[in-house]
A = this chain, B = another copy of it.
Amino acid sequence: MRRSVDRTAGKVMSMREAVASFVHDGDTVSLEGFTHLIPTAAGHEIIRQGRRDLTVVRMTADIVVDQMLAAGCVTRLVSSFVGNSSAGSLGELRRRIEHADPEPLAFEEYSHYGMVCRYLAGAQRLPFHPLRSYAGSDLPSVNPGMRKVTSPYPAADGTTEQIYVVPPVNPDVTFIHAQRADRRGNTQIWGVTGIQAEAVYAAEKAVVVVEELVADEVVRADPNRTLVPAHAVDAVVLCPRGAHPSFAQGYYDRDNAFYRAWSAISKDPVRLREWLEEWVYGTTDHAAYVAKLGEEFWSGLAIGEALSEPVNYGRRL
């Protein structure tokens, strides 16, 4: 049976506490955020605490995954896209897969909707989720997770119909980054919302990392904006700018220059190691990382205002 979370208990903690409490060697860890709101700071803290033998589940395995690979945290990767966005390659990931350098990486390759369906099945305690993908692909030949089921209903033409299915994924812990939450863990996200809610529900434990911790009244003034309710959240971590080099809609923009730089950094294992030493091991926490980048840097990612118009939820007279 799934855990039941005490929604009023003290959930607000530091990233250090959250990683220490909820990430153990050998765990399956999901980090979600589709281009937007990538939980980078969570990945960095996992690196600082030296976790080993993790299975990382992430649809778009990008820079933060390459960094966790380089830090030796990860032995298995479950993903549907392994690349540095459209900006280039992930050097460490390619060394691991192409040359088993410095060690092999077990890789479960899916497509985006396959991953979405795995999270949906995980969140809903379904034994499988069907999808109209994979027919004729070579992927099932290298991924035994993709199987076929025969529909018990005849197709429109009366014939028997088969469809591929994927199995549920149930991470030990899911980390997501979000714009804001209250102290209970009611989490509000806008802009690209991706698969975060399902990734939280699929997990045994869930940590929400936020730009802002807000008063209950802020959340309750717009309940439709709450994509992850308190009962599904085990810890809330306040960590402004924790999605960098990704972005937070309405807070700061994407650091496209860093994405472009990563291909060269990660291509050279020595340079990559130096980068980790300086920016992850060399910073005590994300606040130190943010400070090290400097205010001038952050002003370059600053954005202007484009406010939504309020809607009326109504009040009984």
Contacts and interface: CB of A to CB of B under 8 A. Distances in A.
A311 interface: yes
Contacts of A125: 132
A311 to B, nearest CB: 5
B153 A127 contact: yes
A224 B226 CA distance: 12
Given A127-B130, A167-B153, A313 B306 contact: yes
B311 A250 contact: yes
Interface string A49-81: 000000000000000000000000000000000
Interface in A202-255: 218, 221-222, 224-225, 249-251, 253
A23 to B, nearest CB: 23
Nearest to A189: B224
Interface residues of A, number: 51
A305 interface: yes
B165 A221 contact: no
Nearest to A151: B127
Most buried by B among A127, A150, A249, A251: A127
A126 interface: yes
A250 B307 contact: no
Copies of chain A in the complex: 2
A179 B317 CA distance: 20
Interface string A92-134: 0000000000000000000000000000000011111111100
A193 interface: yes
Contact of A193 (B127, B224, B249): B224
- Interface SS of chain A: loop
A307 B310 contact: yes
A126 B121 CA distance: 15
Nearest to A317: B304
A128 B165 CA distance: 11
Contacts of A315: 303-306
B128 A152 contact: yes
A14 to B, nearest CB: 26
Interface in A135-180: 147-153, 155, 161, 163, 165, 167, 179
A149 B221 CA distance: 44
6 contacts: A127-B130, A149-B152, A222-B308, A250-B313, A305-B314, A310-B310
Given A127-B151, A249-B313, 17 more contacts: A127-B130, A127-B155, A127-B161, A127-B163, A128-B151, A149-B149, A149-B152, A193-B224, A222-B308, A225-B308, A250-B313, A302-B317, A303-B316, A304-B315, A304-B317, A305-B315, A306-B313
